[in-house]
Structure 1
Amino acid sequence: MTGHARISLAAWGATVLGALVLTPVFSGPFLFISAFLCALVTGVGVLLQNLRTPRIVVPIVQLLVLIELLSLFFLHSTMKFGLLPLKATALEFNSQLVDAMDSINRFSAPLPQDPHLTLFAVSVISATGFLIHVIAVQLRQAAWSGLLLLIMYTVPAATVHGGLPWLLFIPPAIGYIVLLSAEGRSRLSRWGRRISGVSHLDAAEPVEASALGQAGRRIGLTVVAIAALLPALLPTLPEGVIGNGLAGGGTGSGIGASISSTDPMLDMGKNLKRGDNVVALTYKGGPTGGTYLRLTALDLFDGNTWRIAPRSPGNKLNGSDLTPPPGYTGDLSKVQQSSMEIDVTRTFRSQFVPVPYPLHSISLKRDWRYDAGSLDVVSSNGSIVGGKKYKLTSYDLQPTPDQLHDAITTGAPDQYTAVVPQKTPPAIKAKTAEITAAAKDNKFEAAVLIQNWFRSGGGFTYSTQNAKGSGMAALEDFLLNNKEGYCEQFATGMALMARIIGIPSRVGIGFLPGTAGKDGEFTVKMHDMHAWPELYFQGIGWVRFEPTPSARVAATPNWTVASTENPTSPTTAPTNVPTTPGDKETPGIDRPRNDPNLPNDSGTAIVDSGNWFTNGGGKAIAGGLGVLLLLCIPWLVRTLTRRRRFLRPPGRAGAEGLWAEIRDTSRDLGLDWSDISTPRQAGQWLTSKLPEDTHPAVRRLARGIEALRYAGDAGLELDLRDDATAVRQALWSRARARRRWRARLLPPSWRWYLSRGTTEASDLLDEFDLLLARLRSLILPKRAHTS
């Protein structure tokens, strides 16, 4: 096989292996299509080179072939005569990429299996493969192609929520090492027979380490180390350095928003804080005054995040009624039902369908399923609900306070909703017991007490500026300290407290009822997204509570009114006044118009101007301290090194350390210390630089080092610390003040430590090479040469 063909195949393999890191980001057969297109482009390049085509022509032809293949696979209907990609193809390609970028900015990974996203992924991977081929084969600089592989790895590593599986790091590293080995083999072969024996083992040991293997391992291990460290550091950078990630939701001019099945809570927060306040859906019908529309319920809390618990594939929607509401034991035939018609805009990209709870029936079929435990409707093939229009009926369950007061919870309906994480702080448990003490062990009364504590008695403030999330540490800080957050913190805080007192709970994600308009139509926007706790009561099922303060939601549900008139019991008067169709807004549900903590209708958050510290002063101080700390590292290393050298006991190591300290001090003060001079020559040079009263100390120091080096075991107990101290002080006294300050803050000898670290790292790689060579010699003995 020719050298260029070997490198071409290695470049194709490196591209495919590097593209594996994108599998947690994109869905569908994008990887197989990309591998096929890259193989065709690579084959064209190998064929042209075998035909002795001029080097500059090869990449041009490959690029044209790539454009033709992408057009045939994805944009065939726009090609003239079905073969030529012209203006219409280019416009459609641009439109598809714009849609793909919008989806990437709005969705959390993994992205849905949409055609424009598949086109985007295939285009990126194919273009990367083309560039790797050009760099490695045409320009003969295979090492630089590693940057492209590194970028493919670091982007998902820095943006996929929860991080990438560590096993996905191995394929790109292997692909890069294979490409380097192929390029190195081809380069060496142009000089004749490959070099086959580089070793610093003693001659008695018949072990060789391949020169090519040594080079490959050095470069490979270096790149692997960089690729491992860089993604680990990227997520710690401030937001905006590398963008908002795949979950997006930035403050740009894009339209739309999304909720993914991976982390709905995360996406809701991004849409509330930074997303555009576009219309998500409109609906007609339902209860007077509007209704909450739920997307899904988060029932698994591991102490870090609230997520959807593992589920079965779900039940197919075929037009028939759904299963009864979980936990409800009454006669459903006597429960009033409401009919609704919902029209979801194309700007709302979600695999979950917004529906009221509990749902009775829905017109969606085929690619949609529902979960019997949560009664949420979700896509079965990754498609989105944007652009869908559907009809449904739901139960209008209205439990009374007396029913909830008398309900007895005998156990959780599943294995997740009653679990209190082991690392729940005792302070949260103690606070929960304090708040619910007046309930006298009645679960409903305790739940209302918790709700009222959040809304009025606990001193909480609603604000979307809380970015700490809903993990245990963030909840403890929210509940006991700062008491400022938005619906995510209020909902998850009450759900955790409910579990602590023995009430199964989960967190609902969805929309507030929205704003009533003409002809009985309600408009729901993205800033109407909301989270609330759902508590389980035996015989009634899952019941919604509302702990979020009135700055966001003016009223609590009617059923959360205490059943007794005891002043120690919680009471909340129902203030949710229903509206008639045509009213401008829904009192008690929509957020106040002048709420300073919520984004306005333009999608821009209205926040307090703050002071100089919160408006960047604190970050500037922290950055300055960080820079100062970095600048102090050379001084700190030199100080600790000098201290260690003078603390060593008399002997060979101690004397050599003192001699090295005089060398470093000389270099720090700008003196030209020679590495090739003997101790006697260095001593003579020092006497020429120092006053006469220090010459005896210089001679004793130089002769002591000379004796230790060349006179065997003579003078092993020689203590040279006093002489070294005198010489060092004399060197400092002879230097100018500016030179002394420079030697303190940025000693030039610092460069020597960096060089030493590089040498030691190289020695470590040498030992690694020799270890592999020994193992190879044991496993594969050398074959005897025949004459």
Structure 2
Amino acid sequence: MRDRLDLGLPGSALTAGLAALTAWVTLLVWSPFAEQPSTFLVPLAFGALLVAVSGVLLRAARLHPLLVLLVQVLVVGVWLHHRLAGPAATWGWIPNATSLETFRLAFVDAAEVARTYAAPVPAEATAFAPLMIVAGMGMVLLVDFIACTLRRAPVAGLPLLAAYTAPISILDGGVPWAKFAAGALCFLFLIAAQEATRLSQWGRQVSDHRMFDSQSTEVNSQAVWSSARKIGVTATGLSVLVPLLVPTLSLQLFDGFGNGPGGSGDSVSLTNPMADMRRDLSRGRDVDLITVRTDDPDPTYLRVTVLDRFDGDSWRPSERDIPRDQSAQGLLPRPPGLDDETEREIYDWDVSINDRFDSNWLPAPYPTHSLEAPGDWRYDVRTMDFIAAVDDLDTRGQSYELQSLRVNPTAEELATSAPVPATIFQPMTELPDMPPAVTRLALEVTRDQPTKFEQAVALQRWFRVGGGFEYSLTRRPGTGLSELEDFLLNDKSGYCEQFATAMATMGRALKIPSRVAVGFLRPTSTDGGETYTYSTHDLHAWPEMYFEGIGWVRFEPTPAVQAPTVPSYTRGTIDRDDPGSTTSSRAVAPTQNRIDQPTASAAAGSGGGGGGIDLRFLVRTAGLVLLVALVLLVPRLLRELVRRRRWATATSPVLLAEASWAELRDTARDLGVAWDDTVTVRSRARELVRSFGRPGGDEDAMTRAEARGEDANPEAARSLDGLVRLVELARYAREVPPSAAEVDATRADVARCVEALRAGASRRARTKADWLPASLIHGGATTTGRRRQLRFDEPGVDRAV
């Protein structure tokens, strides 16, 4: 038993230690998430060591790979439970009901901190650490499993890349080069160590240079590092390129890193709209941010961006589509849904932003007719907000000119608007599973209103007047379903974030296309004329709802203490005698808004695009089908790549022999044929020939013993004998005669043996071998009888003589 545990332990320990070090060094890029990153980086260092040690012991005991991972997860879970709930546990370690509840609450508190504070999380918010520890330990376990248990160190670069993309997606800027270089260097050492461990177990040279000389058993490091360098440089290059290709326009990777009193000084950052708005509204001092000169007599609602996706936890911007030809320079496209006949006015604006306001979006009134701004700003055709297309571009110090459109619809026009096109109706009414009480409340508030517009006005009036709500900045942040239900049914106290998102959510529940806009409410006139200033306390959120012919129009549910006025069209009256009112979009789920029955106006593509076939949906569907096809093809392609590379590197008689035997071994594993690397080559061949099938045999032949074995395919049996002699010469003879290692003949022998193995296997086994080849994961090879002794980290050559 002692010999069994000691087998390969030193090399395995080195690889496991380097895997743990690589994972932990990579996690250093998470330091900017907190002002005191040691609260999670120090425990992660101990956790990485724990994973490495447990992995070495479990693999030395030759447990199944998945069992190794399962036990490691259990060990990490017990350690985390002791760390977070030890005082409540029995003897500090054994879980009980109290300790498990304490353990759960630790993560609830950590998630709340992540939602409350902007990165970096303040040092006093120590409850944040468990969230980072769990995320980090997940990455450590994956790296150890892939690099050490599966022995695929280059593939372990994938979870490392995921760790790098987290700060890129959440924080401004990229990964510091020093930290990336440290992680890449550790990654190279990890690959080199695994190569050295693997190659040192071979019984003779595997290159043109001698790996072992006659005087020493030391491995020639030149050959090891040559192989490791090629793999390592490729993997490191991917580590540099892949993050550059990862889309980072969606604002949050996690649910939080948002609200709350992060930051310092008088600067205002608006990169995570809801989170940063709440933080800046909470500041006591009112800081001037934007100065405008305009002939617009009422320059209110300066929009920054749009939140048009609700996942049940928060409202956030969807990924923006900003190709180069959508540069925000000069005249801009007509806003979605706005008809030529709709009344509008054009006003000129000169905008100057001071250095205190930092945002990736350019503030502008909606809708905007034209824009002239320095830098590469682009628009999205769906939202018509303006976003920086390069990393070093923001709003600080920007001065630009624009023309705004003042659309003046009447209440009758909005009430009698045509049905909504499918391309807008479907995504802009999408909701997660809603609390039934919220849906019932929306229907109750609007039950007497015959049109969608009148329902929207009723919601606005209910929030401002009849619902018993009050404006307060003391409410805890959050726009998820649980916070929404509490806000609507219990607390009824909040600020513009709650009012805007609540009305937009209830609007979607009523099948009114809705979204949330974030920007500035109203400025202060500085000269009593055409010059105005927007400040920190003007930050605001409001809902926008879509009505065909007019497009997206704003509503104002926030109480009058913060938003004194409402849009004029929401105060108008509707003449029921007007014949046009018969075309109104009715409140009860009009069939015109069914996605499978688009209307004529939708098909015509008015405004935001037509109904019928949604090109974007077709493209996404085709992309999904292609992705699934690629995923299904990957194992088969990888197996073919291994086969081609194996034959390409067989440049000597010894390598040709080993390549032939390895191909035969992998084919057997793919077909589910028992293979034991702990016996001699001849013993292995005697067992293998029993699985040979008759040429042209089928699945029914599996039921007849005479259909399999040496007599079923004598030619393949002779080929197998030739391969056995070649492998024995390559491994044990001083020299291999050239006549015994003729490339074409050897490959023909292998092909006959492979064909015989496939003929002796069932159709199901052949299909599985083609599409899910087991040989891609070294390990788990079965043996005959009750023996399952092959180590998961064996190089795949015979050890017995």
User: Do both share a fold (TM > 0.5)?
Assistant: no
